[in-house]
Amino acid sequence: MSVAADPTAFATRPDHTPSATAPLLPEDDPFYLPPAMIGQLRPGAVVRAREVELALFGRVAQKIPAWQLLYRTCDLDDTPEVAVTTVLLPWGADPTAARPLVSFQCAIDAVASKCLPSYALRRGARAAGAIPQLELPLIAGALASGWAVSVPDHEGTGGQFGAAREPGYRALDGIRAALAFEPLGLGTSTPVALWGYSGGGLATAWAAELAGEYAPELDIVGAVAGSPVGDPAAAFVRMNGGLFAGFAAVFTAGLCRAYPELDRLLRSRLDADYLRLMAAAESTTTFPLLYRFARRNLDDHCTGGLAGLLDAPELQRILADIRPGDRAPVMPLLVLQGVYDEVIAVADVDAHVDRYVAAGVRVRYLRDRLSTHLPLQFIGAPVIIDWLSDRFGNRALAPNAVETVWSVAFSKRAVSGHLRLALLSARMLFGLPIRQRRRVNRPSDVHRWSLRLTLRKPLS
C-alpha cells in the first residue's frame, strides 16, 4: 500500500536520521521529496508522516507529542507541490477527546531551509538565529490550553518568503492534513483558528483571506494577525538603509524564488557585491542576516537607484500582487499592532484593517502604545489565547472597534497570563511535559487586559 493511500502508515515511526541529534536539512532529507504523481492528489492529502522529537533551541528535548506531515498543496500559480507541517498535542492528551486545532504560522522571515519550522523546532537542529525557535513557548501556550497545533512551513520547501497567496494555501492545506491525520483524533467538524505574528501574521492574513473560497469546508472560527505587515512594498522602502534592511533583502531574495521575472530584473540592475550578499542570505538565519545588512542602502548598489527599480513594470506588478487586504476573510479577526513599532509601520496596518472593515469583515483592532515589535508578540500572547478561547467557546463577539491602549501587559488578568506563560517556559527549560491546564470558563474583555484605554473608536 502506498503512503499516499494510507496517510497514517508511518504515523508512529520515529525519524531515524544518521544521528538522533542531527536532523538532515530539508534539501538533504528524502522525507521532503514529492511523489511522482502529486497532481493526482487532492489538496491537503498526506503523502507521508513521521514522528519527531522537538527541542527548545534545538537542545532541550520537549515532552510534546509531535509528528510531521508531508502533504499536497500548491504555489501562487496553482501548480501542485508539497509542504510540511509539524502537528502537536499536549502531553498525555486523549486522542479520542474532542479538541480544537490552531494553525500557528511562524515568523520565518528567511529563505534558508534551516529556518523552516519543520527543521528549526527539531531536537538537534542547528538553527541559531531562526525565529521559530523563539516562538516555541507560544506554541506551547496553545498546547497548554488543550488545543492541537499545526505549524506549517508556509514558505514552502523553497523558502519563498513574501510570495502572494502561497502561505495561505500551505496553511489551509496543512489544516486539512492535520484534520485527516488519525493520531490527532480530529475530524471535519473540528473548530479551527489561525494565529501568527509579523511574517507569520502576514501568512495568517493570506490564509484568512483565501479560506472562504479555497477551503470552505473548514470551520475556521477566528484568526489572530499580529503586526501583519499591511503593505509589504511600503515596508521594503522604509527598511532600506536602516537597521532592519536585512528584512528587505531577504524578502527580495524570497520573491525572486517565486517571481522569476524579478530575479532577471535584479540581476540586470544590482551590482555584484549586493548579489553576493543576497546569495549568502539563502543560507543565513534571520538575526545574523539583520546584522549583516544593517544600514545597507540599495541606492548604493542599484543602477538607477531604488526609485528607478520601483518604477520597473515587473516590480510594480509584483508589489501590487503581494499586498494583502483585497479579499474579505469570512471569519472574525483580532489584529494586534504596536503604535511605535520600529519594524512595521502602524499606518500600514491601519490601512490594512480599513480595507477589511470596508469589505464587511468583523475586526477587533488593538493598538499598543508602549510595545516594540518583537516584545509585543509575547506581551500580547495572553490576550490572544483568551480571544481564541472565546472563539472556540462560541462566545459573543464584541463590536468592531479600533482600541489604542498604553499596554496590554499590566492589568491583573494580563499579569496572571504572563505568569502562566513564564511557568510554562520554565517547564520547557527543564524538559518537563507540556500538559493541558485547567481553564476558568469565562468570557474575555480586552479592557481587562490593558493598562489604560486611550482611544476607542468604532469601526464602521
Which of 321, 353, 387 is where one domain is finished? 321
Q: What is the pLDDT of residue 338?
A: 98
Please state the domain count of the chain. 2
Exposed, middle or buried: residue 268 (CB in 10 Å: 0-12, 13-18, 19+)? exposed
Residue-range definition of the domain harbouring residue 66: 26-231+323-458
For residue 8, is it within any domain?
no
Examine the domain organization and report whether 334 and 432 are in the same domain.
yes
Examine the domain organization and report whether 31 and 98 are in the same domain.
yes
Q: What is the pLDDT of residue 7?
A: 40
CATH code where residue 285 lies: 1.10.260.130
CATH code where residue 77 lies: 3.40.50.1820
Q: What is the pLDDT of residue 410?
A: 80
Which of 259, 293, 321 is where one domain is finished? 321
Which of 290, 305, 321 is where one domain is finished? 321
Q: What is the pLDDT of residue 441?
A: 52
Sequential pLDDT tens for the chain (460 residues): 333 334 434 444 555 444 456 899 999 999 999 999 999 999 999 999 999 999 999 999 999 999 999 999 999 999 999 999 999 999 999 999 999 999 999 999 999 999 999 999 999 999 999 999 999 999 999 999 999 999 999 999 999 999 999 999 999 999 999 999 999 999 999 999 999 999 999 999 999 999 999 999 999 999 999 999 999 999 989 999 999 999 989 999 999 999 999 999 999 999 999 999 888 888 899 999 999 999 999 999 999 999 999 999 999 999 999 999 999 999 999 999 999 999 999 999 999 999 999 999 999 999 999 999 999 999 999 999 999 999 999 999 988 989 999 999 887 778 899 999 999 999 999 999 999 986 555 555 554 555 544 455 656 5
Q: What is the pLDDT of residue 142?
A: 98
The DSSP secondary structure of 294-336, one letter per residue, reads TT--GGGTBTTHHHHHHTSHHHHHHHHHT---SS--SS-EEEE
Which residues, including other chains, have CB under 8 Å from residue 393's CB and lie 6 or more apart? 441, 443
